[in-house]
Amino acid sequence: MDISFGSPTAFGRGAWVVGIHEGGAFTEWAGKADSAAGGAVKRALAVSRFKGQVGHTLELLAPSGVKASRIVLAGLGKAETFDAAAAERLAATIVGRLLAVGEESLTFAVDCPAKAKIAPPELAAHLAFGALLRSYRFDHYRKVSDDEKQSLKTVVIATPDTGAAKKIWNEVSAVAEGVFIARDLVNEPANVLYPDEFARRTTALKKLGVKVDIFGVPEMRKLGMNALLGVGQGSAHDSRMVVMQWNGAGRSSGGKGKNGPLAFIGKGVCFDSGGLSMKPANSMMGMKGDMGGAAAVVGLMHALAKRKARVNAIGLIGLVENMPDGKAQRPNDIVKTMSGQTIEILNTDAEGRLVLADVLWYAQSRFKPRFMVDLATLTGAILVALGAEHAGLFSNNDELSERLTKAGSLEGEPVWRLPLGDAYDRLVKSKIADMKNIGGSSAGSITAAQILQRFVNRVPWAHLDIAGVAWQDGEQKPLAPSWGTGWGVRVLNRLVAEYYE
């Protein structure tokens, strides 16, 4: 879909969107629409329940006096609550309705409310962002009937300052590209996107100046990454680890502590059968998406590089496939991790923490990062706690937690912090190893995080359990029209942009 910015002066062909304040008050463009259409807007408002409420719309089809095929009245709600997120939702809602109804062009002529928390160029860029995110489709493997095909080809955003809008758009669109990459990866079936293929796709980042190193089984065995390798040893597809480096701050990423790079780590289980502790059939559905954390990290690295973020960042992903086989890891096996700590395997379906244990240790040992954030579709328990609205946040650092919380709120990817502590840590003690890989029937998300914390030393660290937000069964979220949501790219990009550039 082609998106552009301009200053149109008349209601030309295609669909037009104008704003109405809550209570029915006209914006400037709404007034122009009413005048051009001979008072049709006022008449429509008089006979409808639409009064400019946020999220509500009213359509005038084939209005007389103008060439436009339809004029859509979009509720702006209260001016003081209208912000970038509201603009994105507005655009996504409209595009979702018009994407495949036969319209080929759409113009947003939405004035910035006087008391709004957003300037006109920002409004334009975020309208475009919402429109683009909603246009995503994953149709690679099906024939699309004519009445399902996307007809909308062009979107024009009316703005008085096209130069400033385009400047903001250059950065925002890079984030949208990253979200699309993450969605594509999550949506791909596991027979296509196995560990080696996933690793191969990350090499596309080299075109943007990202250094990409792929580690195979021999290299990881030499490093002592036996926990990660144990997960994948029952699969016909070998495991991989990918390290992606973006040096946008103009200095080496080999510094330590406060001068070190930012590290983002993703769980990449390309398919999770549960291993020998096999999942029931219903629970196995959707396990192609158990690499949502790794997908988000790849999308983030694309966004940072594409917008030339002034930061040094490392993305690390552990890629495995958890399958049952004669060579598969068994319950009661003990593995020695890269850190030297040992883990007793009581359930082979608690595998993501084993992958992350080695990758976290490698990240903090090699790069001495300023902080580490890992993302993982780690536990079903987080769905019980938070549903599909918030990701679970666990951390050893209050500042990092607060920054992630604020970034998530701003980007519509909210997180909710849950506790860690010695009492929970005792639940993963093993009688014959340094720890066991499950903690019992309660506090499953917390005990999983406690295991991860044992592999971060004193590095500021946050763990995001995204099992409830990485995919969805319907289309409940206006900005995420597909099964894979691409969750994580936006919140982490905002974290970097707000606090570390």
Q: What are the chain's domains?
A: 2-159 (3.40.220.10), 174-499 (3.40.630.10)
- The number of angstroms, rounded, from the C-alpha of 231 to the middle of its chain's C-alpha atoms is 25
Alpha-carbon gap, residue 456 to 416, rounded angstroms:
21
According to the model, what pLDDT value does residue 253 have?
Answer: 45
Q: What is the dihedral of CA 43, 47, 53, 59, to 10 degrees?
A: -60
- The closest alpha carbon to 337, from 359, 363, 367, 318, belongs to 359
- The number of angstroms, rounded, from the C-alpha of 390 to the middle of its chain's C-alpha atoms is 12
453, β-bridge pairs: none
Helices 489-499, 398-411: inter-axial angle, 10-degree rounding = 120
pTM: 0.95
Contact 117, 82 (CB under 8 A): yes
Alpha-carbon gap, residue 220 to 355, rounded angstroms:
12
Q: Would you state the structure tokens that stand for residue 258, as one six-digit string?
A: 């406060």
| Annotated catalytic residue 353 | yes
Residue 15 zone, left/alpha/beta (φ > 0; ψ -120 to 50; rest): beta
- Cα dihedral 275, 215, 194, 393 sign: positive
Which of 70, 240, 288, 353 is the catalytic position?
353
- pLDDT, one tens digit per residue, over 84-138 is 999 999 999 999 999 989 999 999 999 987 777 889 999 999 999 999 999 999 9
Which of 97, 279, 368, 406 is the catalytic position?
279
| Annotated catalytic residue 279 | yes
According to the model, what pLDDT value does residue 37 have?
Answer: 93
Residue ranges for the chain with pLDDT beneath 50: 253-254
User: DSSP assignment of 343-385, as one string?
Assistant: EE-S-TT--HHHHHHHHHHHHHHHH--SEEEEEE---THHHHH
According to the model, what pLDDT value does residue 257 have?
Answer: 62
Contact 496, 303 (CB under 8 A): no
Alpha-carbon gap, residue 183 to 102, rounded angstroms:
26
